[in-house]
């Protein structure tokens, strides 16, 4: 029997759509972080960064804290069958561990790893495969998808209770937009586990300066430079500068990598010519960190149905429980969809 894996590809990841996003990004000098995971070389390079710097990979206490959250979901599983949606799953290691824990409790689990990156979503599928007989990877740009409920309904073999995971994606995706699509997708009693990079309590700038070392290092910069190299821009054409920006409206901060051009560059990408002048800069990457208060505000707006984007609102998501690592750098939120 063939070991080939069927995969769904959403139109948001068709080449013409991706090319348009790339053109828009280069015109506005803003690279969406999703472009850093797309190729096999980028996925391999990000894996090295993740293994070296992600607290969930490095730190036993952080691993334990994820285990607690996985177990908190179990009592809420009402049916013997359920579906796990791994949104922005990356390598899918966290979802695979959750599946391992839940499999003795559930009779049947279907698993839908969802990510924009083809190599990563395949890895996530393979990591979860031992615990789920019905699993299907979905390649989808979560920031450009209005029809997530239809996508999931079409790709699902069964209609059953759902658990959605959002691990490591809030640093890069708009939380209001992603929670709004989740609310449209989930039904009463469905559950969500979501990780958030936090601003530790105390002097935020000082604490963030210390966290910046997880980002401003040669391994991460090499990973980010792969995107430019694919466009034909040599690393020597400029230099990377990391800065910390405050996003006051969201009570958040952003760690941003800027590529400063030290010489003039002209390139062809997605059918268009782009010129970068000496001294110009391109936003190469960003990662949001929320204060616990900022995140609580976002969640309470959802509870009250008071977001700017009312379309697609389904069952409200209510906070069941939350955990914070001892360092205060990472939070996990367990939400449940209510009627
Ligand atoms: C920081 S990694 C986290 C991966 C994994 N969930 C974890 O916790 O280790 C972010 C993931 O989100 C994916 N991603 C980023 N933007 C995306 C988008 N717009 N649509 C779908 N996936 C996206 C990336 O491809 C990557 O796998």
Question: Does 55-200+291-337 carry CATH code 3.30.2350.10?
Answer: no
Joined together, the tokens standing for residue 131 give: 């615990």
pLDDT of residue 312 exceeding 60, the answer is: no
Q: 278 C-alpha vs ligand 1 centroid, how far in Å?
A: 32
d(CA 323, CA 195): 9
What number is the average pLDDT over the span 290-302? 87
Note the pLDDT tens digit of each residue in 215-244: 999 999 999 999 999 999 999 999 999 999
Closest C-alpha residue for ligand 1 atom 26: 90
Q: Is 119 in the pocket of ligand 1 (CB under 6 A)?
A: no
The pLDDT of residue 314 is 61
89 CA: nearest ligand 1 atom = 6
The pLDDT of residue 157 is 66
The pLDDT of residue 63 is 86
The pLDDT of residue 259 is 98
What number is the average pLDDT over the span 91-118? 93
d(CA 225, CA 221): 6
Q: 114 C-alpha vs ligand 1 centroid, how far in Å?
A: 9
d(CA 327, CA 199): 10
Note the pLDDT tens digit of each residue in 65-102: 899 999 999 999 887 888 999 999 999 999 999 999 99
Structure confidence at residue 310 as a pLDDT band (50, 70, 90) = very low
Structure confidence at residue 307 as a pLDDT band (50, 70, 90) = very low
The pLDDT of residue 309 is 43
What number is the average pLDDT over the span 90-115? 92
């Amino acid at each position: 029997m063939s070991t080939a894996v069927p995969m769904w590809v959403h139109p948001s990841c068709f080449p013409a759509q991706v090319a348009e996003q790339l053109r828009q990004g280069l015109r506005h000098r803003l690279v969406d972080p999703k472009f850093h995971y797309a190729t096999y070389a980028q996925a391999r390079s990000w894996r090295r960064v993740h293994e070296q710097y992600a607290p969930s990979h490095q730190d036993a206490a952080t691993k334990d804290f994820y285990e607690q959250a996985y177990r908190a979901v179990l009592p809420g599983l009402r049916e013997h069958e359920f579906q796990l949606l791994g949104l922005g799953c990356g390598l899918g290691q966290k979802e695979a561990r959750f599946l391992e824990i839940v499999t003795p409790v559930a009779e049947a689990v279907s698993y839908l790893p969802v990510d924009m990156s083809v190599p990563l979503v395949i890895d996530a599928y393979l990591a979860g495969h031992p615990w789920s007989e019905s699993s299907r990877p979905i390649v989808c740009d979560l920031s450009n998808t209005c029809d997530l409920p239809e996508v999931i309904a079409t790709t699902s073999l069964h209609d059953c209770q759902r658990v959605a995971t959002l691990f490591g994606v809030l640093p890069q995706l708009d939380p209001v937009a992603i929670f709004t699509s989740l609310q449209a997708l989930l039904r009463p009693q469905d559950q969500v586990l979501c990780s958030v990079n936090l601003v530790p309590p105390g002097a935020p700038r000082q604490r963030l300066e210390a966290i910046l070392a997880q980002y401003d290092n040669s391994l991460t910069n090499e990973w980010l430079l792969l995107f430019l190299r694919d466009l034909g821009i040599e690393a020597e054409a400029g230099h990377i500068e990391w800065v910390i920006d405050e996003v006051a409206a969201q009570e958040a901060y952003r760690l941003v990598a800027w590529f400063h051009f030290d010489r003039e560059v002209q390139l062809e990408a997605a059918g268009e010519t782009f010129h970068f002048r000496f001294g110009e800069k391109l936003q190469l990457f960003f990662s949001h960190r929320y204060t616990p208060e900022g995140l609580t505000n976002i969640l309470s707006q959802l509870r009250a149905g008071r977001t700017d984007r009312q379309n697609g609102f389904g069952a409200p998501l209510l906070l069941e429980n939350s955990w914070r690592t001892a360092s205060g750098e990472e939070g996990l939120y367990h939400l449940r969809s209510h009627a």
